[in-house]
Amino acid sequence: MILGRTLAGWSRAALGALALSLACAMLLGCERKAPGPEECARFAATVVLQHAPGGIMTLEMQAQIEEETRNCLTRPYDRELLNCVLVTSRGRACLDSFRRRSGRIVTPSVDPG
């Protein structure tokens, strides 16, 4: 009952602030670091379609997008790599930066350009 007596002296506002602070800390501490399915799909489409002549997607390109999305979800890609590709459309430079940053060798299924 020591905890009960200790909390009894606190005001409702103080307890509410404490609960809110703990909830915020938990949410920020558990932020997903790996990209999710939607991010990986955008990344894959950007990487593959930068090679599409006239922006026309073929069945082969659609299969490559699916494969690269799967690779993104299963390999240790990070959001910085995905953001780099989405912002700059320079897949090769972004992958080189990722390799230096992570010390990992990544071989994409599609030539990142």
CA–CA gap between residue 81 and residue 83 (Å, rounded):
6
To which residue do tokens 């940053």 refer? Answer: 101
Average pLDDT over residues 84-90: 90
pTM score, whole prediction: 0.58
Share of the chain above pLDDT 90, in %: 20
- Compute the mean pLDDT over every residue in the chain, rounded to the nearest whole number: 75
CA–CA gap between residue 9 and residue 2 (Å, rounded):
12
Strands (DSSP E) contained in 1-113 are none
Give me the DSSP letters along 52-81: -GGGPPPHHHHHHHHHHHHHHHHTT--HHH
Query: Could you report the per-residue pLDDT of 38-50, keeping only the tens digit for each?
Result: 999 998 888 888 8
pLDDT of residue 95: 81
Domain ranges (residues) in the chain: 1-31, 37-102
Shortest CA distance to 48 belongs to which of 87, 89, 77?
89
- The pair of three-digit structure tokens given for residue 21, joined into one six-digit string: 């602070």
Query: Could you report the per-residue pLDDT of 40-82, keeping only the tens digit for each?
Result: 999 888 888 887 777 788 899 999 999 999 989 998 788 899 9
